[in-house]
Amino acid sequence: MKIRILGAGPAGLYFAALMKQLDPTHDIEIFERNPRDATWGFGVVFSDRALDFLRADDDALYQYLTPHLENWPDITVVHNDTTIPIAGNGFASIGRLELLTLLFDYVEKLGVTIHFDTDITSLAQLGEADLVVGANGAFSWLRTENEDKFETTTDWRPNKFIWYGTTQPFNSLTLTFRETEHGVFCAHHYRYRPDMSTFLVEVTHDTWERAGFADMSPEDTIKLCEQVFAKDLKQHPIISNHSHWRNFPAIWNEHWSFDNVVLIGDALRTAHFSIGSGTRLAMEDAVSLYKAFKELGTDVPAALARFQETRLPPMKKIWDAANVSIRWYEEMDQLVPALTPVEFAYSYMTRTGRVSHAEMMRRDPALARAYEALHPEVAS
């Protein structure tokens, strides 16, 4: 098969690797608009469950990546000055550039060609192909130009976020919420190298406006965020890397393919960063699409139909949970002042409806019992 892939992110790279391993005669080329050493972005995070899927489906890649991961067994919720560690929630992280560099090397050794600094803007530029895979991210031109065929919906959410880094090496995935005169500021932060952490700041739109961020310089924006999170940063600086305020687009497509063209990864659907599943979903898309071709051979229409049929149910569960999580963060200006630290941490853990009280008791009995002390009715 002649396979052409748009985008050298985790989804496109992993699909290329799997298909090349399935049949080394496949002619596979990846087109990436960015240079090989593009440095924007900080860390990405995987839950334990994400690593479990990788171990089960591709132990060789799991063994290849794991020595480069930072790991921790718990998460932490900070409610103003009260820190609540929560057990039973393991995560691992790695720098975005390091992950991509490892995957570049992995697929190139298999014989896949990656064209960097190559901006493909039309299907005609790809020439004849048996399969075209759109793995070119949330702002995929391929999807945008064919929204009627994919039946795309995009829901721009109101919260504002900005993706920073810091040299403060945090010991776990931490969600820090601090009340200010402007409203609540939330930082999503975690170590992805021994000396570096991701530090994403999120605020509601009202808080963003009250703080005056619309008219603030990048330097003053960092300065205000450093002041808000001074106790957490411990004199370490916030670091920008092409960082700017964004709104999150919740993207969905009713149809995942047309003709010989298919979407995977963020081009197919976006999952809010608050559930830490974006990279996992991208790589699971690649596995599912590969399995469809492994089962059905070179019958492209049948394989693309099987891909959506088998991948939709498990992926939709995570996508729905991510959208519930988005709305929980949109209420943080009300939730933080209204709840005690224990109630707030419990609300965070149960926000998507996927963690029951019984499950909370299994994961972290201390937090579950502390919540029961405030709300005895949940124990009955």
Give the model confidence (pLDDT) of 190-200 as tens digits: 999 999 999 99
pLDDT digits (tens, 9 = 90+) for 306-359: 999 999 999 999 999 999 999 999 999 999 999 999 999 999 999 999 999 999
Closest Cα partner for 192 from 177, 171, 176, 175?
A: 171
* Domain parsing of the chain, residue ranges: 2-43+96-155+249-328, 338-379
What is the pLDDT, as a whole number, of residue 246? 97
> How far apart, in whole angstroms, are the C-alpha atoms of residue 214 and residue 221?
10
Q: Model confidence at 236, in pLDDT bands (50, 70, 90)?
A: very high
Per the structure block, which two tokens stand in for 94? 């790695």
At residue 199, what is the residue type?
F
> How far apart, in whole angstroms, are the C-alpha atoms of residue 112 and residue 209?
47
Please name the helix (run of DSSP H) or strand (run of DSSP E) that holds residue 319, with its range, or none.
Answer: helix 300-329
pLDDT exceeds cutoff 90 at 49: no
SS3 assignment, position 68:
helix
Count CB-CB contacts under 10 A for residue 25: 7
Paired with 133 in beta bridges are 5, 262
* Helix runs in 23-111, H state only: 48-57, 59-65, 96-109
Q: Which residue has the tokens 């305020």?
A: 245
Q: What is the mean pLDDT of the chain?
A: 95
Burial code of 285-323, b = ≥16 C-beta within 10 A, e = fewer? bbbbbbbbbeebeeebeebbebbbeebeeebeebbebbb
Fold classification of 2-43+96-155+249-328 (topology level): FAD/NAD(P)-binding domain (3.50.50)
Q: Which residues contact 283 (CB under 8 A, 6 or more apart)?
A: 10, 11, 14, 50, 53, 54
